[in-house]
Amino acid sequence: MTEGSPWQNKDHETDSQSAMKAETVCFRNYRKIRVRYFAAVPDDKREVIMTGKTKKVSVPGQTKKITWKEIRRQKILLIWAAAFVIYGFIFCYLPLGGWVMAFQNYKPKDGLLGSQFVGLAKFQQLFSDATFLRVIRNTLAMGVLNLASTFIMAIVFAILLNEIRTTWWKKSIQTISYLPHFLSWIIVTGILHDVLSTSGIINELLVKAGILDNAINFFAHPKYFWWIVAFANVWKETGWNAIIYLSAITSIDPSLYEAAAIDGAGRWAKIRNITLPGIRPTIMILLLMNVGNVLNAGFEVQYLLGNGLVQSVSQTIDIYVLKWGISQGDYSMGTAAGIFKSVVSIILIVMANQIAKRTGEESLF
């Protein structure tokens, strides 16, 4: 901290320095607050500001009781909160009511209340549809493939980037690595089409290297499709996903590395014994968060890259929903498929969380 805050006491600086670091950005701005607010802060509270331990000290003093006085005091907060609840109810919770459609033979002219109730018939129809079973397989396969490849690449990239000692080189690679994340899937798939086309660079290199005799159209063969999607995800998100791991690595105590160096550990040994265990909690949390998203992993890329030739491997649950629901107008069928996806996702999250708890790792809830 080069700039001292106006109330900062020199004696406390070293003591509180590390605690304040985390909130440096926020503290830096306190200068802009008029000093008179601090005049009103009691002395013991001022200590609290400096050590940054506000939460622990101030919470016990407050009892939350719903009293008229308190309600009047917070009137404006309550009004806004109510507005947000109404908004959230309409846009996030009301669509859940639409799930009723999956148990009906929904006709738009009859509405939600007037449509004929058919129980689980739509689900039966869904699971007897060979296409739907194939769609589940595709979604799971691509979800797992994407998760594994983006996950591993991000960790590897973060660790290797951290080993670079030249600052400008490290910074430039990092900046470049973020670039694809900011491009839309439209652009990314367009670029992929160019790169993988028969006259594209990949075919050119493969033919020149003698691996292929003739250029092939990668998008015409189902066996390549999943790998192309995985590659697209890796290309787009590696640098972005590495951000969290990089910050986790920088928070590892440097003295550990020094101690290891004295013991004669090489770089590889340090990575294996210090860096990887150090970022293990972060890895676990992110893995948990992403497991629930496995089924969400497939819409845009598959929709944009898919074509008639690879349809059997490219269709995912979301595309199926779109096809049945919006294009064919069978809302009930589409909703049933959507519910299936949501339920499986939630089961996956809860299961992953339980496993994490059992094995004593970090857990989400």
Number of residues that bind other proteins (CB under 8 A): 127
Contact 48, 54 (CB under 8 A): yes
Options 59-67, 118-126, 129-137, 144-152: segment touching other proteins (CB under 8 A): 59-67
Site string for other proteins, 110-149 (x = CB under 8 A): ----------------------------------------
Task: Kindly give the residue spans of alpha helices, DSSP state H, lying in 251-293.
Answer: 254-262, 267-270, 276-291
Contact between 35 and other proteins per CB under 8 A: no
- Phi-psi domain of 330 (left: phi exceeds 0; alpha: psi -120 through 50; beta: other): beta
- Work out the burial of residue 140: count CB atoms within 10 Å of its CB; fewer than 13 is exposed, 13-18 middle, 19 or more buried: middle
Residues numbered 286-345 forming contacts with other proteins, rule: CB under 8 A: 286, 292, 299-300, 304, 307, 318, 321-322, 325-326, 331, 334-335, 338-339, 341-342, 345
Of residues 62-91, those binding other proteins (CB under 8 A):
62, 64, 66, 70-71, 74, 76-78, 80-81, 84-85, 87-88, 90-91
- Length of the chain in terms of residues written: 365
- Asked if 230 interacts with other proteins (CB under 8 A), we say no
Site for other proteins in 170-199 (CB under 8 A): 173-180, 182-187, 189-195, 197-199
Q: Which is nearer to other proteins, 143 or 325 (CB)?
A: 325
How far apart, in whole angstroms, are the C-alpha atoms of residue 230 and residue 302?
Answer: 11
Confirm or reject binding of residue 275 to other proteins (CB under 8 A): no
Of 131, 136, 119, nearest to 341 (Cα)? 136
Q: Does the footprint of other proteins cover residue 266 (CB under 8 A)?
A: yes
The least distance separating other proteins from the CB of residue 349, rounded to whole angstroms, comes to 7
Identify residue 292 by its one-letter amino acid code: G
Q: Is 265 in the site for other proteins (CB under 8 A)?
A: no
Q: Which stretch binds other proteins (CB under 8 A): 13-21, 123-131, 139-147, 351-359?
A: 13-21
* 237 touches other proteins by CB under 8 A: no
Beta strands in 74-223 (DSSP E): 104-105, 116-117
Give Cα 261 to chain centroid, integer Å: 35
**Distance (Å, whole) CA 92 – CA 100:** 16
